[in-house]
Amino acid sequence: MPQIERLAIEALTEYVSPSAAQNLFDRAVRRAGVNPETLDAAGWLRFLQGPLLAELQTILPVSEPTGKLRRLLRGLEEAAARPAPTAQPAPQRHNPPTIDTTRIEIDLEDPAARERLASSLAREDGVSGVLVWGSGFQEARLPGMEDLAPILAVVHSLLQKQKSYKIYYSVFREGQVLIRPMGSALVAVLAKRQANLGRLMHVLNSYEAKGGQS
């Protein structure tokens, strides 16, 4: 997944220059014979702990990962240990309603509320997957993409450790991904390339965690 690749290269810049970090990453990929686009959390963990660290050790006397690389590995270890979400059938689509400015409060401690939130977002035009994730819970609508849940959780966790953020956006495989933090939890939406980005950002920003935590 591009997010983990960027985080890995950024972590390597604590050891070498940005261009050297990119070259080092590319060499490790070639020698390992892996495709970063197909790696799940466990696959990324094996790659970073094995081929990537070995490649780094050919130029620097690094015995153990430190700093951002160590935090990335810890996040992937936690993600790999989480059970994969149960696949849910793809929801029926509907035409998006008129945009308004209503704020919708969600009790993320309530399983029924999380399910309603995930189902509502999944019905948005162009949406191909939804994840509502937090400590001790996970509500997913990720048909055919169940392996992405732990990776999205890792990206969210690392972003929060580096700096606070309102919404995260990136191009993802054949589409787009948006992650909206709600306290320590996250709501993520995966969408097709042609989906209306402005509409999706508005919808995500219309939700807030109960008690004003957003």
Give the CATH number for residue 168: 3.30.450.30
Q: Are residues 118 and 190 in the same domain?
A: yes
Decide if 44 contacts 38 (C-beta within 8 A).
no
Give the confidence band of 99 by pLDDT, cuts at 50, 70, 90: very low
Question: Are residues 150 and 65 part of one domain?
Answer: no
Q: Tell me the average pLDDT across 186-191.
A: 92
Same structural domain, 147 and 182: yes
Mean pLDDT of 132-145: 86
Q: Is the pLDDT of residue 100 over 70?
A: no
Question: Which of 81, 114, 141 delimits the end of a domain?
Answer: 81
Give me the mean pLDDT over the 74-98 stretch. 62
Same domain for 120 and 77: no
The answer to the question of residue 99 being in a domain is: no
| Domain hosting residue 190, numbered range | 104-209
Alpha helices in the chain (DSSP H): 2-12, 18-32, 41-47, 53-57, 67-81, 111-122, 148-162, 197-205
Are the beta carbons of 163 and 88 closer than 8 angstroms? no
The answer to whether the pTM exceeds 0.85 is no
Residue 152, pLDDT > 60, answer yes
Asked if the structure places residue 98 within a domain, the reply is: no
- Please indicate, yes or no, whether residues 119 and 38 belong to a single structural domain of this protein: no
Domain count along the chain? 2
Residues 31 and 62 in one domain: yes
Last residue of a domain, one of 18, 50, 81: 81
Average pLDDT estimate for 53-74? 86
Is-contact 172 24, C-beta < 8 A? Answer: no
Determine which of 70-79, 80-89, 105-114 has the lowest per-residue pLDDT on average: 80-89
**Are 62 and 114 part of one and the same domain?**
no
pLDDT at 130 over 90: yes
Do residues 102 and 206 touch, judged by C-beta distance below 8 A?
Answer: yes
Q: Which range is most confident: 35-39, 84-88, 90-94?
A: 35-39
